[in-house]
Amino acid sequence: MSTIILYVIIMTIGIFLARKGIISERIKPKLGHCQTFALIFLLGILGYKLGSDKGLLEKIHFIGIQAFTIAVLSIVFSILLVFVFYKKGDR
């Protein structure tokens, strides 16, 4: 829980800095590169942690089926809900 609070605080600081214009215009174009690097770094760390967890690797077939089912159901119900609400808006 405290980790989530830390994330929210960091995001709030970022929003505050952006709203107040504290970050110079010179740095803004480079922020995308920083975000990309941070994302690649985090994905690498995540892959390392997943690969080193032997219990997870033993259950990967079950987790894969479960993840696939959740993904497919999410897509199907998202499309259905958009269709329902889109049709309601036409009336």
Per-residue pLDDT of the chain (91 residues; tens, 9 = 90+): 788 999 999 999 988 988 888 877 788 788 889 889 999 999 999 889 888 888 877 887 888 888 889 999 999 999 999 988 887 666 6
Domain contains 72:
yes
Question: Which range marks the domain in which residue 77 is found?
Answer: 59-91
Is the residue at 10 inside a domain? Answer: no
At 90 the pLDDT is 64
Q: How many domains does the chain have?
A: 1
Sign of CA dihedral 11, 13, 16, 18: negative
Position 13 in a domain: no
Structure tokens at 56: 């997870």
- Domain contains 8: no
Q: Is residue 81 part of a domain?
A: yes
Q: Flag whether 69 is in a domain.
A: yes
Token output for 78: 């998202």
In a domain, residue 91? The reply is yes
Tokens encoding 4: 């989530």
* Single-letter code of the amino acid located at 6: L
